[in-house]
Amino acid sequence: MKNDLSLLDHCLTPVRQLHSPNQSARDVDCAVDLLVLHNISLPPGEFGGCHVEDFFCNNLEVGLHPFFLEIADVKVSAHLLIDRAGLITQFVPFNRKAWHAGKSCFAGQENCNDFSIGIELEGTDDEHFTDAQYLSLINTTKLLMLEYPEITEARIVGHSDIAPDRKTDPGPCFDWVRLKMGLSSDH
């Protein structure tokens, strides 16, 4: 399948753009050199709908589900969300910090939000991701690696790698081999 994605003004195109207020400026001299993969579903274990988008944009109606009360005051975002159909939504331009990593450390460097790009995959730790998600993730990652050459395969990690005491995502059902093989292919 042909990859029609490109970057324009630090945004992926053509994808849906939603502005998250949960972002901040990067330091001018900070290199973007880490890609962090996550999973998310709201309510937990349920797919579809607009709850994740609403959560990242601080518009989640907390009365719709008991779990939403638990996260009502949480302010988070990611640069991108890839839904189960492989559709991509961007919330934060890549030249800005998305609030996805929380307390984190990679290779001795704290606060991974400062130097990383965060991609959320709609899913859970215990369910396999879709073919469409892998295709979108691989195509997007290849493009990001061209734009940010310091992001190498060794610097593509899971949330669990940078916050192992707090996080388990993208989880054991995420196929790291499939991702690496896709990155090394020409298609």
- Which residue among the candidates 53, 61, 70, 120 is catalytic per the annotation? 120
Q: How many CB atoms lie within 10 A of CB 79?
A: 28
Q: How many CB atoms lie within 10 A of CB 181?
A: 12
Give the angle subtended at the CA of 168 by the CAs of 163 and 174, to the nearest 5°: 120
Instruction: State the helix-helix crossing angle for 176-184 and 131-147, rounded to 10 degrees.
Output: 50
Cα pseudo-dihedral 177, 179, 183, 187, rounded to 10:
110
Give the closest residue to 136 by CA, choosing from 175, 83, 98, 186.
83
User: Is 150 among the catalytic positions?
Assistant: no
Catalytic residue list: 120
